Structure 1
Amino acid sequence: MNKSICTALLVCALSVAANAQQCNCPENFDYVVQKLEMNYARFPDKVPASEKKAYARLKAKTERKARKAATTDSCAEVITGWLNTFHDGHVYLSPQDKAAPKPLTPAVVKQPNLARLDEQTALLVLPSFSIRHIKAIDSLVAAFKDSPTPQLIIDIRGNGGGGDRPYFGLLPLMYTRPYEVHGVEFLASEDNIANFEALLQEEIPANTRKVVEELVATLKARPGQFVPFGEEKSVATYESVSKTPVRIAVIQDQKCASAAEQFLLYALQSDKVTTFGTSNTKGALDYANVTELPLPSMPYLVGIPSSRSTRLPETSVDKAGIAPEVKLPKHLEDPVSYIKGYLKAEAQLP
């Protein structure tokens, strides 16, 4: 064989071996398994005693796949496949971008928007409940209050969640009777505690800091246990019912998840609101407050929910998502116009 070809093949083989060693998939998979078993608030429910043998077999099968994964990409595929068996939208493997985050522009991220469709109807589009949208959504809610309409359509299609604070301004508009509110329970693991301690190193409001400090102290006092945060079940009330809007429609789809689903749970408690959609939501709300941990030798983060809702086990969102009250035809070209007409007919408006 030609000497130069032999040299090239040797260099190539050494390069592949170096990449495989650098990835060390078995190490990364074992790390993910360990961290998930220690920190996942759903793990005790997902893997009860009756399922431990099946879980062990699946883990051993995935370990064999990990030993064969020679690249970072193939290893990420193996780990993601295993995480997907938990069927939890808050359990994930995500690339870790070490570069400074670039500012997001309207061309990259869809922005909240308010439009007046006619004298009776306004349309509020909320593609995300990201905390970066708090000011924008508050401003749009204020604009609606300044020039209200009897009907309001809130379009949250494609909204994968974010935080609860962005939609708080809408709760008084939807309010007709006390909202039922459920708390959460945090799993007091070392990593989950460290996640909150890291938050205390950031600039956060004084009232938020006090709450987090108290939570950290409680978690440290009860290691390995589930610690209640907030009341198991309570009610939230407002002084009065807003005169406008009179009727509210919320449009949902299968991509609505997390905070968007929590918003829907509030909306469904209002006598003003009717929800519309072609399908149920994604179902990713029961286990939340994700702790992200970097893998030892891969540029990835594993996301693990640290809390579970006190709605469980009686009321689960993750099992089937949230169904719309009015099922829309799948091939409807203009859902907004359809819903506008639906609301007018219901109110007998011209």
Structure 2
Amino acid sequence: MKKLAFLLSFFPLISTASDYSCEQEFNWLKKTFENNDAGFQYALSQKGEKNYLEHNKASLKAIKNADDISDCHQRLQQWLLFFREGHIGLSLNVEKENNASVHNFNKTEFQQYLNNKSKEDIEGIWRLPSYTVGLKKEGSNYNGYVIESTNSKWQPGQLKLILNEENDGTYKATYYMADHSIRHVDSVDFIDQNHLSLGNNWLTLSRQNPKEESKAEVLQYVQLMESKTPLVKQLSKETALLRIPSFSYTDKKHIDTVIRDNLETILSTENLIIDIRGNGGGSDISYEEILPIIYTNPIHNVGVEFLSTPLNNSRMLKFIDDENFSDDDKKWAKKGYKTLQQRLGQFVNLDAQSVSVKKLENVNPLPKKVGILMDESNGSTAEQFLLAAKQSYKVKLLGAPTRGVLDISNMHQVDSPSKNLTLHYSLSKSLRIPEMTIDGKGIQPDFYLDSSIPAYQWVSYTRGMLEEM
């Protein structure tokens, strides 16, 4: 696949709400998606036209009852969920008023209350990126009030998160994002008494001033999961670890730098663990420097075909003017634009062949064995990396099945005529379809690490396995 970014994080332009019609927004969304999304017809063939018509009828009825643009946005998002889980989205570009109430939460009194408790539990003062919150049990919920924040939109006393205990003893969370919008989190995991993980490594909370220190193994896990940049650790004389939190295009320079600075160590160590847990994707070029380290034999990569429409093809023009793209990439984009424009309405393979084969001259003697840690958060480019890496005889995949959002990819975006909404959709479809689909299934690990092995022990478990093999 050509070096294009899979954008998973949306950064909408903010505007002020104007007069709108939710039905008009829906009509625009439906027409634009049907005409331009590379996965629309594929989803229709999988789910059936009758089901789609019924879905449209139900959605239109719901849309007519929308109270305001924010409510309309939520209902339109539900319409989109019919098609697939990943590489799709709808952003609301209306600035939200900060209506979050400031509660009477006294840190000093709460700290005194905690000091008098004989045993630590969920109640406590917790740190997370940009915030310190006090988790206090009120009724059946644990409410997290802001104590300190580096975000000017948040004040002490405002409610940042709510933990709800389910009937089966598990927890779910309601989390208020930086702009006070709501994110519902279906999984809350207790790493140990001092650390909580929300949304499968999406967010980690660490207890402030714990009465009992955490194990070194837990602290290492939290460090790895909280790290926003790649890093290398020497775990033992026989094993090194490379942590890659993201394959974002902007992270490529950091990945390349950490590999270059530690290449001598990596290539002189018997075993290598590559930890990509929580890595949601990015750009294929971000993992290029990793492949020579683990390479043993030619790597086959099945390409994609792009749906050619005037709107879709306009992205190529943006690439030509993008200073972040190399001259070679700009030449590719210019040639690709011309080819696509000549075949409007068709799926077009812009590469010479459907399958590319990457051959390298050298096979490094070390590392001899490579274990890659993967989980349910891995999607898009992270899955593309795993498909490439697992072709090496050195590599074994360990962990849990991935998210399964790779077949329909290469994202683009367009604003609605009102500018209230931005549609994020996909331009390409994998040529692996239908023989080897990933969407809805995920990539399976060679070694499934079940619930009897806590996530914080995955590194030590993998290290032990590699060193004993």
Interval of TM-score (by shorter of Structure 1 and Structure 2): 0.7 to 0.9
Q: In 2, distance between residues paired with 1:186 and 1:94? A: 23
1:64 aligns with 2:61: yes
1:135 aligns with 2:253: yes
Structure 2 partner of 1:241? 363
3-state secondary structure, aligned to 2:274: strand
Percent of aligned pairs with the same residue? 33
1:328 aligns with 2:446: no
1:110 aligns with 2:110: no
CA contact (8 A) 1:25 1:70 kept: no
1:201 aligns with 2:321: yes
Query: How big is the shift at 1:232?
Result: 0.4
1:22 aligns with 2:22: no
1:165 aligns with 2:285: yes
CA contact (8 A) 1:276 1:326 kept: yes
Alignment length, in residue pairs?
321
Select the residue among 292, 295, 316 that pairs with 1:175. Answer: 295
Once the two structures are superposed, residues 172-218 of structure 1 have per-residue CA deviations (whole angstroms, 9 ceiling, x without a partner) of: 11111110111110000111011222222322321111000000000
Structure 1 residues 22 and 260 mapped into 2: Cα distance closer, same or farther (>3 Å)?
A: same
Once the two structures are superposed, residues 263-314 of structure 1 have per-residue CA deviations (whole angstroms, 9 ceiling, x without a partner) of: 000111111001100x210001111111111123353321111101111111
Query: How big is the shift at 1:135?
Result: 1.3
Select the residue among 18, 36, 50 that pairs with 2:33. Answer: 36
What RMSD over aligned residues (CA atoms) do the two structures have, in Å? Answer: 2.3
Query: How big is the shift at 1:327?
Result: 0.8
Structure 2 partner of 1:6? none
3-state secondary structure, aligned to 1:47: helix
3-state secondary structure, aligned to 1:63: helix
Query: How big is the shift at 1:50?
Result: 8.5
CA contact (8 A) 1:93 1:303 kept: yes
Q: In 1, distance between residues paired with 2:414 and 2:427? A: 12
Select the residue among 414, 430, 438 that pairs with 1:309. Answer: 430
Structure 1 residues 112 and 95 mapped into 2: Cα distance closer, same or farther (>3 Å)?
A: farther
Q: In 1, distance between residues paired with 2:271 and 2:421? A: 46
Q: In 2, distance between residues paired with 1:23 and 1:53? A: 30
3-state secondary structure, aligned to 2:290: helix
CA contact (8 A) 2:306 2:427 kept: yes
Q: In 1, distance between residues paired with 2:331 and 2:40? A: 29
CA contact (8 A) 2:302 2:430 kept: yes
3-state secondary structure, aligned to 2:442: coil
Q: In 2, distance between residues paired with 1:165 and 1:218? A: 23
Select the residue among 226, 237, 247 that pairs with 2:347. Answer: 226
Structure 2 partner of 1:3? none
Structure 2 partner of 1:264? 386
Query: How big is the shift at 1:96?
Result: 4.2
Once the two structures are superposed, residues 88-137 of structure 1 have per-residue CA deviations (whole angstroms, 9 ceiling, x without a partner) of: 30111134499xxx9xxx99971111111111111111110011111111
CA contact (8 A) 1:254 1:280 kept: yes
3-state secondary structure, aligned to 1:41: coil
More strand by share: 2
Structure 1 partner of 2:466? 343
Structure 2 partner of 1:92? 89
Moved over 6 A (4+): 106-109
Q: In 2, distance between residues paired with 1:273 and 1:226? A: 34
CA contact (8 A) 1:24 1:297 kept: no
Once the two structures are superposed, residues 305-339 of structure 1 have per-residue CA deviations (whole angstroms, 9 ceiling, x without a partner) of: 11011111111111300011101122423110111
Q: Greater RCO between the two (CA within 8 Å, min separation 6)?
A: 1
The amino acid that maps onto 1:143 is D
3-state secondary structure, aligned to 1:275: strand
Select the residue among 46, 66, 73 that pairs with 1:76. Answer: 73
Structure 1 residues 20 and 126 mapped into 2: Cα distance closer, same or farther (>3 Å)?
A: closer
Q: In 2, distance between residues paired with 1:245 and 1:329? A: 26
Q: TM-score with structure 2 length normalisation? A: 0.65
The amino acid that maps onto 2:411 is V
The amino acid that maps onto 1:160 is G
Structure 1 residues 136 and 74 mapped into 2: Cα distance closer, same or farther (>3 Å)?
A: same
Q: In 2, distance between residues paired with 1:75 and 1:227? A: 35
More helix by share: 1
Q: TM-score with structure 1 length normalisation? A: 0.87
